[in-house]
Amino acid sequence: MTQVTNSGFQTIVNRQPAVGQAGDFYGTNPRTVILSGNSPAGGAGNSGAAALGQLVAPHSVDGFQPDGLVVGNFAWVDLTSGNVSQGYNTNGQLGVLHRDDTAVIVTYLGISTYVQNAGFAITLFSNADIWALFAAGAAVGQKVWADPVTGAPVAGGAAAPTTASFTGAVNHLTNVLTVTAVASGVLGQGAVIAGASVPAGSQILSQVSGTPGGIGTYNVSGTYGADVAAEAMTVAAVATPWKVKSKAGNGETAKISAWG
């Protein structure tokens, strides 16, 4: 995930306030939250489940991903452990992280942040009318997909958009993916990788070395009968029940709703 933080002194004042920030509500349709159930107490690693069943923002799973969660992005709650992650979890329930102004700005001279601090309580909405930030823009009626590494909303059609393209090789004895080039996107926990020689469903579990989200080595799941020589690989976005309700240019917010 990428921490969106502005540092320094305020230099501009908008004549009109923004119509909505990522993670804000905009409608009055019913809203439903994800219940954590009988989650265990939060612990080390990527634990995002706290005592009394409260969901909390997680610490990094591998030291390469930043701590916490990006507000306005999607996240998955593991249905067994209650852990929360913005990396795709096949056993997870999907929700959007609401902006509730409880984060603490920890960047020196920071004036804003969209990252909820690790260990802080969070509320994820499985149904809501909400504002979402689209890096590549969005059009009314498009399906909303989720980046499986960052949880960022991605607008597209019926087919899953590609969120990352890279060159990689896999050692079948260690299940270590070696990435030598990244053409686009970010890699990390949750990414389901696809390639001509890659078994279906192979997923990145953690990063071992290298540039965070880029060139380096990663632990992957899957059963490999032989080494995979360096080849082109991709990562696809994950489907969500949300749809775009207003247009947005690159880097702008748009209304999304899970209510059709």
Looking at residue 14, its pLDDT comes to 76
pTM given for the model: 0.90
pLDDT one-digit tens code per residue, 167-192:
999 999 999 999 999 999 999 999 99
Residue 91 has pLDDT above 80, yes or no: yes
- Of the candidates 63, 81, 123, 121, which has an alpha carbon nearest to the alpha carbon of residue 98? 123
Looking at residue 108, its pLDDT comes to 82
pLDDT one-digit tens code per residue, 31-82:
999 988 654 444 434 555 444 568 999 999 899 988 999 999 999 999 888 8
Looking at residue 241, its pLDDT comes to 96
Looking at residue 44, its pLDDT comes to 39
Provide the pLDDT confidence category of residue 7 given band limits of 50, 70 and 90: low
* 134 backbone φψ class: left, alpha, beta (φ>0; ψ -120 to 50): beta
Looking at residue 3, its pLDDT comes to 42
Strands 193-195 and 228-236: antiparallel
Looking at residue 111, its pLDDT comes to 83
State the average pLDDT for the chain. 90
Looking at residue 5, its pLDDT comes to 54
* 109 backbone φψ class: left, alpha, beta (φ>0; ψ -120 to 50): left
Looking at residue 112, its pLDDT comes to 84
For residue 59, give every residue at least 6 positions away whose Cβ sits within 8 Å of its Cβ, in sequence order, or none. 44, 45, 46, 47, 67, 118, 119
Q: What is the mean pLDDT of residues 11-33?
A: 87
- The Cα angle at residue 36 between residues 33 and 37, in degrees rounded to 5: 120
Residue 28 has pLDDT above 80, yes or no: yes
Share of the chain above pLDDT 90, in %: 76
Q: What is the mean pLDDT of residues 235-253?
A: 96
Looking at residue 156, its pLDDT comes to 97
- Six-digit token pair at 104? 């603490």
